């Protein structure tokens, strides 16, 4: 018998219920407040907890709204790279964890970066390109313009993306009649 199997958590308790023990079908071994409008109910055994669970799940607290009851389990899915670090609080309401550098975080970061920048795994690329990197394209020539035009005509997705880009850059749409000045 584990404590997590005999512990229930009741969430979103309505404000008009001031004492949760008044609506319980049987007395709990321990009743612990668990944050705002939540409470942990611990029972002697798993069978008693299961019985109370089934009864509380059917309890209608508001018209059309049932009481939110689940079994309380600590660390339902343990994550392989849980970082145990210092906890700092900027206010009482928010808490953040500082992640110390460790070997388990590096493979996930490199996997993310390689997917983000479409890199081959053989290149061993583990960081994004620098922000100051600029591409050097050749000046436009009639041959380059022809190749772009052929690609625009043959690939409708590319054509749509070019139109989106022209729209974002506030360029004149190419649909109207040509102006006499150009």
The per-residue b/e assignment along 23-58, b for 16 or more CB within 10 angstroms, e otherwise, is ebeeebeebeeeeeebbbbbbeebeebeebbeebee
Average of per-residue pLDDT across 171-181: 77
Q: What is the pLDDT of residue 150?
A: 96
Lowest mean pLDDT among 23-37, 71-85, 127-141: 71-85
Nearest residue to 3 (alpha-carbon basis) of 75, 54, 62: 75
Q: What is the pLDDT of residue 142?
A: 96
The CATH number given to 7-71 is 3.30.70.330
Domain ranges of the chain: 7-71, 104-134, 137-173
Report the predicted TM-score, pTM, of the whole model to 2 decimal places: 0.39
70, β-bridge pairs: 9
Q: Which residues contact 72 (CB under 8 A, 6 or more apart)?
A: 4, 7, 8, 9, 40
95, β-bridge pairs: 89
Asked whether the predicted pLDDT for residue 82 surpasses 60, the reply is no
Q: What is the pLDDT of residue 36?
A: 83
Q: What is the pLDDT of residue 139?
A: 95
- Average model confidence (pLDDT) across the chain: 77
- 38, two tokens: 């939540």
pLDDT tens per residue, range 2-18: 556 789 888 888 888 88
């Amino acid at each position: 018998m584990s404590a997590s199997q005999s512990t229930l958590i009741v969430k979103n308790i309505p404000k008009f219920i001031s004492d949760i023990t008044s609506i319980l079908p049987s007395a709990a071994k321990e009743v612990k407040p668990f944050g705002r409008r939540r409470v942990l109910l611990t029972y002697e055994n798993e069978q008693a907890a299961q019985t109370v669970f089934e009864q509380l799940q059917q309890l209608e607290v508001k018209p059309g709204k049932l009481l939110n009851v689940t079994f309380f389990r600590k660390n339902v899915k343990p994550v392989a790279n849980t970082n145990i670090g210092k906890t700092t609080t900027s206010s009482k309401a928010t808490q953040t964890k500082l992640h110390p550098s460790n070997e388990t975080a590096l493979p996930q970061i490199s996997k993310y970066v390689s997917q983000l920048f479409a890199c081959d795994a053989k290149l061993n690329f583990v960081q994004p390109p620098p922000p100051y990197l600029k591409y050097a394209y050749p000046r436009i020539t009639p041959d380059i313009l022809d190749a772009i035009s052929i690609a625009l005509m043959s690939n409708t997705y590319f054509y749509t993306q070019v139109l989106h880009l022209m729209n974002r850059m506030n360029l004149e749409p190419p649909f109207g009649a040509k102006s006499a000045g150009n």
